[in-house]
């Protein structure tokens, strides 16, 4: 149940083993989040060494790595190539299909499943268990379905308009399956900008900066929004920032506006005679900061420091941005939370409901952007499918 990457990968494994598979999808078409992620280039996995790759899953590393070690990034590239969609490694180490978008890969994948004994049922929304069957809402009315074994792969609660709304959680809780609350991951954050900065610069990218939080640093770009900040560099630190906000009520992100210059270089340049030049002109000539970077400096540094070169230089290198809350889960790229790993066995089977399995973002783990999320979803789909095969043999 769920026609995303985890569910489709499980269906592939099961059909190859000779079983008849029925895929139930709540939306009119499958894999909508997969397609949305691939509109600007489907980042399918990452090329870094496997042991480094496996560290990206934080507290859930041990559980997620059990799946990824059996379906590695190299395996994913070979799998995509087998579907007629070869891949390439970008300058950042991220891996993309040569056609770049996700739609050709999905079409080939669905065609392959159609050649096997897999049947896709769309507009079927799972309501819960009814005796020994599953109850669905469909355009034609309620429908019950019995299965020898089942995989739940509904996803989390990010991007609900694409299908992931978490409406399955009440049935799981009623069955005694422990769940961790869903929290945004790879998300933006709120900051109360002045009317000037929000009105003038919302939507502007801040390029080539070094962001830092609690010993972690990420170099890249981010975007100023009406509400605060977002972007790939922010997402890389979002778990740490989110956890700090939950524990302390706020988090302070530091911004190095000029990673290629030292505090001393900046201080010496700023200490040169200013004459009758305005602060903005002097700042531009001494440091090269203009536009959004200069505006951030003036927004976040106390005005009293502008006449002290050393303090301005220090501010440029460690500009403090206080973040108060995360953006809503519905806006996040992915989520943390879901079915606790204690609720499943080594095959991802629910202990409370034997013969029923869970994979993908329904489980309580998270990963940064860069191909890590998609890789683990597909690997867990395979892990669960192999568990289902084990269950069928035992049954």
Amino acid 276: pLDDT: 84
Residues 374 and 1: their CA atoms lie apart, in Å, by: 18
pLDDT band for position 243 (50/70/90)?
A: very high
96-143 pLDDT tens trace: 999 999 999 999 999 999 999 999 999 999 999 999 999 999 999 999
Domain boundary among 284, 310, 326: 326
Residues 108 and 228 grouped into a single domain: no
Residues 139 and 195 grouped into a single domain: no
DSSP symbol at 308:
-
Are residues 49 and 89 in contact, defined by beta-carbon separation less than 8 angstroms?
no
Residues 155 and 114 grouped into a single domain: yes
pTM: 0.92
Residue 200, domain extent: 189-326
Residue with tokens 């496997």: 50
The number of domains in the chain is 2
- Coil, helix or strand at residue 185: strand
Residues 240 and 159 grouped into a single domain: no
Residues 180 and 193 grouped into a single domain: no
251-293 pLDDT tens trace: 999 999 999 999 999 999 999 998 888 889 999 999 999 999 9
Domain boundary among 276, 291, 326: 326
Residues 93 and 96: their CA atoms lie apart, in Å, by: 10
* Parallel, antiparallel or unpaired: strands 251-256 and 125-130: unpaired
Residues 147 and 354: their CA atoms lie apart, in Å, by: 12
* Parallel, antiparallel or unpaired: strands 21-24 and 118-121: parallel
DSSP symbol at 327:
P
Sign of CA dihedral 23, 28, 33, 35: positive
Residues 178 and 203 grouped into a single domain: no
Residues 18 and 160 grouped into a single domain: yes
CATH of the domain at 379: 3.50.50.60
* Burial classification of residue 249, based on how many CB atoms lie within 10 Å of its CB (0-12 exposed, 13-18 middle, 19 or more buried): exposed
Domain boundary among 326, 349, 373: 326
């Amino acid at each position: 149940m769920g026609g995303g990457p985890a569910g489709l990968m499980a269906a592939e494994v099961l059909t190859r083993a000779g079983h008849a598979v029925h895929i139930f999808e709540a939306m009119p078409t499958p894999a909508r989040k997969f397609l949305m992620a691939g509109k600007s280039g489907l980042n399918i996995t990452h090329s870094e060494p496997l042991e480094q790759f496996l560290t990206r899953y934080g507290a859930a590393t041990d559980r997620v790595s059990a799946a990824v070690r059996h379906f590695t990034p190299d395996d994913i590239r070979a799998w995509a190539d087998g579907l007629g969609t070869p891949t390439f490694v970008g300058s950042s180490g991220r891996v993309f299909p040569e056609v770049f978008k996700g739609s050709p890969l999905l079409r080939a994948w669905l065609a392959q499943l159609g050649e096997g004994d897999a049947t896709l049922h769309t507009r079927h929304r799972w309501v819960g268990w009814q005796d020994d069957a599953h109850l669905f809402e469909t355009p034609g009315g309620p429908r019950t379905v019995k299965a020898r074994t089942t995989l739940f792969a509904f996803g989390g609660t990010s991007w609900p308009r694409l299908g992931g709304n978490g409406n399955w959680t009440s049935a799981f809780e009623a069955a005694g399956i422990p769940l961790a609350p869903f929290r945004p991951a790879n998300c933006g954050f709120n900051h109360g900008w002045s009317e000037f900065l929000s009105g003038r610069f919302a939507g502007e990218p801040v390029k080539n900066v070094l962001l830092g939080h609690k010993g972690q640093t990420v170099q890249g770009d981010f975007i100023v929004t009406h509400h605060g900040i977002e972007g790939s560099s922010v997402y890389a630190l979002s778990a740490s920032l989110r956890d700090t906000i939950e524990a302390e009520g706020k988090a302070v992100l530091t911004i190095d506006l000029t990673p290629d210059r030292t505090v001393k270089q900046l201080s010496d340049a700023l200490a040169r005679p200013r004459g009758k030049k305005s602060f903005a002109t002097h700042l531009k000539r001494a440091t090269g900061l203009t536009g959004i970077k200069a505006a951030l400096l003036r927004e976040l540094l106390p005005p009293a420091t502008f006449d002290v070169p050393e303090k301005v230089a220090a501010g440029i290198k460690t500009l403090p941005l206080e973040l108060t809350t995360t953006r809503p889960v519905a806006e996040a790229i992915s989520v943390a939370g879901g079915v606790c790993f204690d609720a499943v066995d080594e095959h991802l089977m629910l202990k409370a409901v034997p013969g029923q399995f869970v994979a993908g973002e329904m489980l309580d783990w998270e990963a940064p952007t860069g191909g890590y999320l998609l890789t683990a979803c597909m690997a867990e789909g395979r892990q669960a499918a192999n568990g289902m095969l084990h269950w069928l043999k035992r049954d």
